[in-house]
């Protein structure tokens, strides 16, 4: 069934350009020529990533062939390539190499292009995301089984970039706001890295649920006012720089905002680390959790014991991969809910910088896109957007 559909699709495509003919002729028999961005050793992306091509046979039995539409470059992906991330990529010789290789990337959205006869619950044309970390999403095509995929039940009105970035950042923000303390409308939370993907999602979800947010950003020489306006347009109640957080002025402002502490700050979210976290913790109401999900500064947190014992502040961690693995059904619900908010225009996805990946894209461009994320010069999150592959 699937191959015949593939042929129909190919016949349409062949009308477009001569170069398409050759590739689609192969596809017509159910084969795909996949390109994958891989590593065989850990190291800096620019040193270890290379583009590898392999052929994918028509799927039989339980197998599906999927074509990627979009796959972001997350900081954790880079750490994984460097070998410093706790989840290792899957090294395999199944992609036609003598030595084991692993495909980079963990998040993304793909389209089902064909499937074996035993596959249930997925149809050609369905959009899918990855159920777990370690799938390897920086690739044009992949062949896999259904248990590694989550179907996007309703893709209407959504762009691949939106679906391809929903699993990590917005889900992280969603769970941290819901799972550590029972926030009530009007309650405050405080977060650093407020301009990050998670930070921007937390501002918006918090606003939708009636929570108020204090948002800490780094002091910027230029563009600070624009950033503040941007975050406020998302729903941020207060934006403050890390330098101003400890100032007497801000403490006074906070007293007014929280009505002298009667409207408490009941949750802290941290992706930075270092001494900043102490200053956040001091502003929290007694018995509040401070949840760490990132460590951008690479500085540890110094915990004064009094905050733990007498103020009963708890320091906890959140890792969306662990949560997703433990709660696959809730993850699916969380994704569906955020995508619904996105579709209705009440949840704005993060600014992305598209890196087009077409059939002719060279290895160097792709590797540089990954390395560039590491060097942090982007205006938004880098995301591979797959054209005609």
Where along the sequence are the contacts to a second copy (CB under 8 A)?
86, 273, 292-295, 300-319, 322
Contacts 24+ apart (CB under 8 A), 26-29: 29/3, 29/58
- Residue 140 DSSP code: S
What secondary structure letter does DSSP report for 333?
Answer: H
Q: Smallest distance from the beta carbon of 356 to a second copy, in angstroms?
A: 33
How far is 199 from 231, CA to CA, in rounded Å?
Answer: 9
- Residue 321: which residues within 8 A CB-CB, separation 6 or more? 87, 132, 133
Pick 125 or 304: Cβ nearer a second copy:
304
Of the two residues 63 and 277, which places its CB atom closer to a second copy in the complex?
277
Find the shortest distance in angstroms from Cβ 181 to a second copy: 13
From the list 243, 248, 251, 188, the residue with the least C-alpha distance to 218 is 243
Least spacing, CB of residue 303 vs a second copy, in Å: 4
**CA of 206: how far to CAs of 129, 197, 244, in Å?**
25, 14, 23
Distance CA 169, CA 381 (A): 11
Least distance CB 137 / a second copy (angstroms): 20
Rounded to the nearest whole angstrom, what is the least distance from the CB of residue 134 to a second copy in the complex? 14
Of 15 and 84, which has the nearer Cβ to a second copy? Answer: 84
Instruction: Report the candidate in 162, 40, 165, 44 with the shortest Cα–Cα distance to residue 92.
Output: 40
**Burial category of 140 from C-beta neighbours within 10 Å (exposed 0-12, middle 13-18, buried 19 and up):** buried
> If we measure between CA atoms, which residue out of 108, 52, 38, 48 comes closest to residue 82?
48
Q: CB neighbours (10 Å) of residue 280?
A: 25
CB of 300 to a second copy, least distance (A): 5
Beta carbon nearer to a second copy, 300 or 358 = 300
Tell me how far, at minimum, the Cβ of 265 lies from a second copy, in Å: 18
Residues 6 or more apart whose Cβ sits within 8 Å of residue 140: 32, 34, 35, 36, 67, 68, 357, 386, 389
What distance lies between CA 8 and its chain's CA centroid? Answer: 34
Q: What DSSP designation does 88 have?
A: P
Closer to a second copy by Cβ: residue 304 or 328: 304
Number of residues in the chain: 389
* Residue 42 annotated as catalytic: no
Question: In this complex, which beta carbon is closest to a second copy, that of residue 325 or of residue 353?
Answer: 325
Which residue lies nearer to a second copy by CB, 196 or 292?
292
Distance in Å, CB of 322 to a second copy, minimum: 6
Helix (H, G, I), strand (E, B) or coil at 317: strand
Instruction: Exactly one of 29, 42, 85, 211 is catalytic; name it.
Output: 85
325 by Cβ neighbours in 10 Å (0-12 / 13-18 / 19+) ranks as middle
What is the DSSP code (8-state) at residue 218? -
- Minimum CB distance to a second copy smaller for 22 or for 299: 299
Report the catalytic residues: 85
């Amino acid at each position: 069934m699937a191959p015949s559909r593939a042929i129909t699709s190919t016949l349409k495509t062949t009308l477009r350009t001569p170069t398409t003919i050759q590739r689609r002729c192969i596809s017509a028999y159910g084969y795909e020529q996949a390109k994958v961005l891989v590593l065989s050793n850990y190291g800096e992306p620019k040193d270890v990533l290379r583009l590898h091509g392999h052929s994918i046979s028509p799927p039989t039995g339980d197998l599906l062939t999927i074509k990627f539409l979009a796959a972001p470059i997350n900081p954790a992906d880079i750490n994984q390539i460097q070998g410093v991330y706790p989840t290792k990529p899957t090294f395999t010789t199944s992609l036609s190499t003598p030595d084991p290789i692993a495909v980079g990337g963990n998040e993304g959205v793909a389209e089902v292009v064909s499937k074996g006869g035993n596959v249930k619950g997925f149809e050609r044309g369905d959009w899918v995301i990855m159920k777990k970390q370690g799938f390897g999403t920086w690739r044009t095509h992949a062949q896999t089984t259904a248990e590694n995929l989550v179907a996007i039940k309703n893709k209407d009105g959504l762009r691949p970039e939106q679906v391809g970035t929903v699993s990590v950042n917005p889900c992280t923000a969603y769970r941290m706001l819901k799972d550590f303390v029972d926030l009530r409308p009007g309650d405050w939370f405080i977060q650093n890295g407020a301009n990050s993907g998670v930070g921007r999602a937390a501002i918006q979800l918090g606003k939708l649920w009636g929570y108020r947010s204090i948002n800490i950003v780094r002091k910027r020489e230029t563009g600070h006012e624009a950033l503040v306006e941007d975050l406020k347009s998302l729903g941020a109640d207060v934006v403050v720089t890390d330098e101003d957080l400890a100032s007497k002025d801000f403490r006074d402002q906070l007293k007014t905002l929280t009505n002298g502490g009667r409207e408490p700050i009941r949750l802290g979210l941290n992706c930075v680390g270092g001494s900043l976290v102490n200053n956040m913790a001091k502003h929290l109401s007694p018995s509040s959790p401070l949840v760490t999900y990132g460590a951008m500064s690479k500085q540890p947190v110094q915990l004064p014991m009094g905050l733990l014992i007498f103020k009963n502040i708890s320091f906890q961690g959140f890792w969306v991969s662990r949560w997703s693995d433990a709660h696959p059904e809730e993850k699916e619900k969380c994704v569906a809910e955020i995508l619904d908010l996105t579709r209705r225009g009440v949840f704005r996805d993060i600014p992305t910088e598209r890196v087009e990946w077409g059939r002719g894209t060279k290895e160097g461009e792709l590797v540089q896109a990954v390395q560039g994320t590491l060097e942090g010069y982007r205006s938004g999150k880098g995301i591979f957007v797959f054209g005609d592959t």
